[in-house]
Amino acid sequence: MTEIFDLSSIQQTAQQFIKLFDRYSVFAFYGNMGAGKTTFIKAICEILGVKESVNSPTFSIINEYEAADGRILYHFDCYRINKLQEAMDLGAEDYFYSGKICFIEWPEKIEELLPDSTVKVNIQEVEDGKREIEISLPKISI
């Protein structure tokens, strides 16, 4: 578990998080409204050199960004999805299995579609506005 004390330490945590991209591509961000999911994703995108403005795609559901190295990143906000079929109609599974980096906010709405290799990121607000980030790596069968 990592604790973020303020916005200045979020960059350091995001830098460490990026190391997971070598092995994983789908990241599900859990947390209450205002916990910092979008803020953390913004920090990751900033480190990767995304030039576009990074905002939660609440109304578009999916935003696409390009990192400085040319990698494509997909950012989902599933808050407004009411039925699993809506995500399927958007082609969510195609994105998740594309091998490209996918950040998913409110993944509980579409968990049935997530690959077994999804990394779960739980962000919780704790005392004094601090945040705790717990990362659960998928279990890999041999």
Domain membership of residue 52 (yes or no) is yes
Phi, psi of 33 (to 5 degrees): -55, 130
CATH value at residue 45: 3.40.50.300
Domain count, the chain: 1
The mean pLDDT values, 10 residues at a time, for the chain of 142 residues are 62 87 94 92 95 85 95 96 94 96 96 96 86 86 56
Domain membership of residue 141 (yes or no) is no
Q: What range does the domain containing 38 cover?
A: 2-136
Residue 68 tokens, joined: 């400085």
pLDDT at residue number 103 = 97
Residue partners of 51: CB distance under 8 A and separation at least 6 = 66, 68
Query: How far from 98 is each of 26, 74, 95, CA to CA, in Å?
Result: 10, 10, 5
pLDDT at residue number 8 = 66
Domain membership of residue 43 (yes or no) is yes
pLDDT at residue number 3 = 53
- What is the biggest distance separating any 2 CA atoms in the chain, rounded to whole angstroms? 43
pLDDT at residue number 128 = 78
pLDDT at residue number 13 = 85
Residue partners of 7: CB distance under 8 A and separation at least 6 = 39
pLDDT at residue number 72 = 96
Domain membership of residue 37 (yes or no) is yes
Whether pTM > 0.85 for this model: the answer is yes
